[in-house]
């Protein structure tokens, strides 16, 4: 059953204590409130529902409520009791449907490796790659394999790849225990095997392996190369920040670890949908330069 943004708004307003007239007369303010509660604009929420409908038909209009519950859970990461009070549903029912919809969103085919070829200008580096960490509770038994210095505690790490020419997310790999899997080990285990020919990725310093990664080389890069790499990496950090705008990734994860991967992939798909709707700032990048220091493998 396909729906529109109006259906999403009417359903959400029933639980926000707003009349239809109030929504119509305060459209801008309501859209801002909606994004604050559910993480994305009403028209994107409707588009996301319709994508789920195409994958697996959702025939009951009442399921829209549980779809909104799922978005609020991902956005706020509040406890089930609060969601049950807001949406006037049973806690057990909410708990069931939240994970049903998270699994559905996580399986959407929005993040594709081949999308790195969009607007290809002949550069060897088609993506930026970076690891991003998310806090979790200390798993038992105790192991230093989860520990990272960034937050002085246990975390899970994901490897994110972003297309340089479009800003789209094209790669997500994880989760990995931070203490046992540093960025370069994660990349060597999977990402580098996806490269074609002399393809590389722009990455931050410290990775080494110049046949795979174009890192900041202060003694080799000219000013233009340094600037291009810095801009590409800066936009990648913006993508990481967008992921952590969802409180389920920002706060310490309190559910079982086997559910973290589904949740992270679901959020990544939602963020990718947002980027497709409103593209990020573009980076002019080209690395086929005649440079005596340019590596050629």
pLDDT tens digit at each of 297 positions of the chain = 788 888 888 888 887 665 555 555 456 567 888 899 999 999 999 999 999 987 676 656 678 999 999 999 999 999 999 999 999 999 999 999 999 999 999 999 999 999 999 999 888 999 999 999 999 998 888 888 888 887 889 999 999 999 999 999 999 999 999 999 999 999 999 999 999 998 999 998 877 788 899 887 655 666 777 788 889 999 999 999 999 999 999 999 999 999 999 999 999 999 999 999 999 888 888 876 544 444 443
Between β-strands 125-135 and 153-163, what pairing exists: parallel, antiparallel or unpaired? antiparallel
| Residue-level pLDDT at 148 | 85
Structure tokens given for 39: 């993480």
| Residue-level pLDDT at 275 | 97
Alpha helical stretches, state H, the chain: 5-14, 20-25, 27-38, 42-55, 63-76, 80-87, 91-106, 183-189, 223-243, 247-250, 260-277
How far out from the chain centre does Cα 39 lie? 12
Between β-strands 213-214 and 200-202, what pairing exists: parallel, antiparallel or unpaired? parallel
Quickly tell me which residue has 């046992």 as its tokens: 180
| Residue-level pLDDT at 216 | 73
| Residue-level pLDDT at 79 | 95
| Residue-level pLDDT at 295 | 42
- Per the CB < 8 A criterion, the answer to whether 169 and 275 are in contact is yes
| Residue-level pLDDT at 171 | 98
- Per the CB < 8 A criterion, the answer to whether 264 and 172 are in contact is yes
CA dihedral defined by 16, 18, 20, 24, rounded to 10 degrees?
-100
Structure tokens given for 291: 């440079």
């Amino acid at each position: 059953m396909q729906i529109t943004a109006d259906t999403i708004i009417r359903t959400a307003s029933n639980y926000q204590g707003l009349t239809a007239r109030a929504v119509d007369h305060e459209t801008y303010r309501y859209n801002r409130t909606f994004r604050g509660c559910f993480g994305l604009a009403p028209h994107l929420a409707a588009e996301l529902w319709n994508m789920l409908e195409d994958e697996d038909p959702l025939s009951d209009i009442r399921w829209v409520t549980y779809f909104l519950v799922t978005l609020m859970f991902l956005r706020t990461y509040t406890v089930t009791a609060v969601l049950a009070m807001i949406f006037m549903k049973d806690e057990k029912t909410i708990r069931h449907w939240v994970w049903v919809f998270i699994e559905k969103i996580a399986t959407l085919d929005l993040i594709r490796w081949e999308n790195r070829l969009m607007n290809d200008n002949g550069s060897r580096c088609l993506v930026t790659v970076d690891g991003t960490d998310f806090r979790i509770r200390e798993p038992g038994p105790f192991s230093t394999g989860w520990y990272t210095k960034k937050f002085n505690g246990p975390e899970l790490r994901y490897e994110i790849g972003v297309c340089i020419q479009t800003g789209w997310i094209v790669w997500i790999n994880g989760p990995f225990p931070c203490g046992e899997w540093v960025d370069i080990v994660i990349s060597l285990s999977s990402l580098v095997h996806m490269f074609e020919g002399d393809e590389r990725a722009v990455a931050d310093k410290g990775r080494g392996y110049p046949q795979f990664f174009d890192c900041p080389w202060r003694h080799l890069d000219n000013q233009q190369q340094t600037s291009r790499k810095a801009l590409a990496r800066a936009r990648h950090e913006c993508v990481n920040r967008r992921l952590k705008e969802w409180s389920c990734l920002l706060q310490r994860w309190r559910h079982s670890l086997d559910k973290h991967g589904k949740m992270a992939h679901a959020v990544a798909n939602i963020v990718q949908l947002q980027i497709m709707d409103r593209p990020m700032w573009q980076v002019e990048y080209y690395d086929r330069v005649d440079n005596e220091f340019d590596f050629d493998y």
